[in-house]
Amino acid sequence: MADVIKNKYDFAIIFDVENGNPNGDPDAGNMPRVDPETGNGIVTDVCLKRKIRDYVDTVKEGEDGYKIYIKSGVTLNKKDQSAFENFDIEVETDKKKMQDKIKGLKKTDPDLDLKIRDFMCQEFFDIRTFGAVMTTFVANNMNCGQVRGPVQLSFARSIDPVVPQEVTITRCAVTTESDAENKVNTMGNKFIVPYGVYIAEGYISANLARKVTGFSEDDLELLWNAIINMFEFDHAAARGKMAVRKLVIFKHSNELGNCPSYKLFDAINIQKKPDVLVARKFADYDFSVDTQLIPDEVECIIK
């Protein structure tokens, strides 16, 4: 496995959506998420991390060291138990008995928590990257239950306010025989954002990578590829056309960084062109990075 990363990174993901719903809000009938005070569109960090996980799961196909912890179809407890099995710990159905067993094992092996944490980090890419709360270990009073990952993402926010639209659609097929006697089609609706450019900010701590999860240079390269291509395996009619347009990476010269993250993000400029009234494509925006605001010790990489 490659060496653990030694540099702090900050990064910004610029992506757009055309005639789609980038992130529906279940509390609002699945309408696109919007800041009610400004009208700017919002995409949650959870939504973006889901797409990164799905990309890695697709390209690695369960390869050793690149399994995905947060994934539909397999319970988290079952994945947690794989760590117990690796250390030949028999799982007790009675919670109190299991807690007593773990307590006894930790007396003979004080490093058991660290060994289990390291095993889970080595097995699962998303734990190694984003961290996780592993309830099986938490329930058994183990310190390895909560892992803070080195990679963290913010909510994405659109550059300009968006105007979600409700589009009525019809279906020529009906569901039941009784429906067929009374109607020839059925109606429904879908919500879209006609167009919007979003930006999400991210942070990578080399300090946490070294001390906790072992996030490596190979993991970092995979993460960049996953971000750039995270919408390519996720196309759906409901999401319209989504694409990552720019990935701006700030590489610090050391583990702890050379300047505050916000100063680097302030160097990114995305503005609608003066002659554009209503933006409907990425070319309607001017994109630039003011390198004069970036310290010499920080390398700026644009993908």
- pLDDT bucket at 78, cuts 50 / 70 / 90: confident
Structure token digits, residue 244:
């990552």
Position 179 pLDDT exceeds 70? no
Q: Who contacts 15 (Cβ-Cβ below 8 Å, separation ≥6)? A: 156, 197, 198, 200, 231, 242, 243, 244, 245
Average pLDDT, the chain: 92
- 287-301 pLDDT, tens per residue? 999 999 999 999 999
Position 49 pLDDT exceeds 90? yes
> How far, rounded to the nearest angstrom, does the alpha carbon of residue 227 sit from its chain's CA centroid?
9
What's the pTM value of the predicted model, to 2 decimals? 0.91
DSSP 8-state assignment for residue 29: T
- Interior CA angle at 247 toward 243 and 252, to 5°? 165
Q: What share of the chain is helix, strand, coil (3-state, %, to 5)?
A: 35, 30, 35
- 249-283 pLDDT, tens per residue? 999 999 999 999 999 999 999 999 999 999 999 99
pLDDT value, residue 281: 96
- pLDDT bucket at 54, cuts 50 / 70 / 90: very high
pLDDT value, residue 153: 97
Position 1 pLDDT exceeds 60? no
- Interior CA angle at 234 toward 233 and 236, to 5°? 130
Nearest-angstrom CA–CA distance, 197 and 281: 9
Q: Return the percentage of the chain with pLDDT > 70, whole number.
A: 96
8 Å CB contact between 22 and 198: yes
pLDDT value, residue 94: 83
Nearest-angstrom CA–CA distance, 273 and 207: 40
Nearest-angstrom CA–CA distance, 299 and 163: 37
The number of beta carbons lying within 10 Å of the beta carbon of residue 133 is 11
- 230-246 pLDDT, tens per residue? 999 989 888 889 999 99
- 192-228 pLDDT, tens per residue? 999 999 999 999 999 999 999 999 999 999 999 999 9
- pLDDT bucket at 91, cuts 50 / 70 / 90: confident
196-218 in b/e form (b: 16+ CB < 10 A) is bbbbbbbbbbbebbbebbbbbee
Structure token digits, residue 293:
């605001």
pLDDT value, residue 297: 97
Nearest-angstrom CA–CA distance, 191 and 33: 11
- 150-165 pLDDT, tens per residue? 999 999 999 999 999 9
Phi, psi torsion values for 63, nearest 5 degrees: -55, 145
Question: In the chain, which residue ranges form alpha helices assigned H by DSSP?
Answer: 45-60, 76-86, 95-108, 112-123, 125-130, 135-139, 177-182, 206-208, 217-228, 261-265
Position 71 pLDDT exceeds 70? yes
Nearest-angstrom CA–CA distance, 88 and 119: 13
Most confident of 16-20, 26-30, 96-100: 16-20
Spatial CA neighbour of 151 closest among 121, 123, 120, 185: 121
Instruction: Give the C-alpha distances (Å, rounded to integers) separating 162 from 20, 21, 120, 244.
Output: 12, 11, 41, 18
pLDDT value, residue 184: 63
Residue-range domain boundaries for the chain: 9-167+190-302
pLDDT value, residue 183: 67
pLDDT value, residue 247: 98
Position 97 pLDDT exceeds 60? yes
Report the amino acid identity of residue 285.
Answer: Y
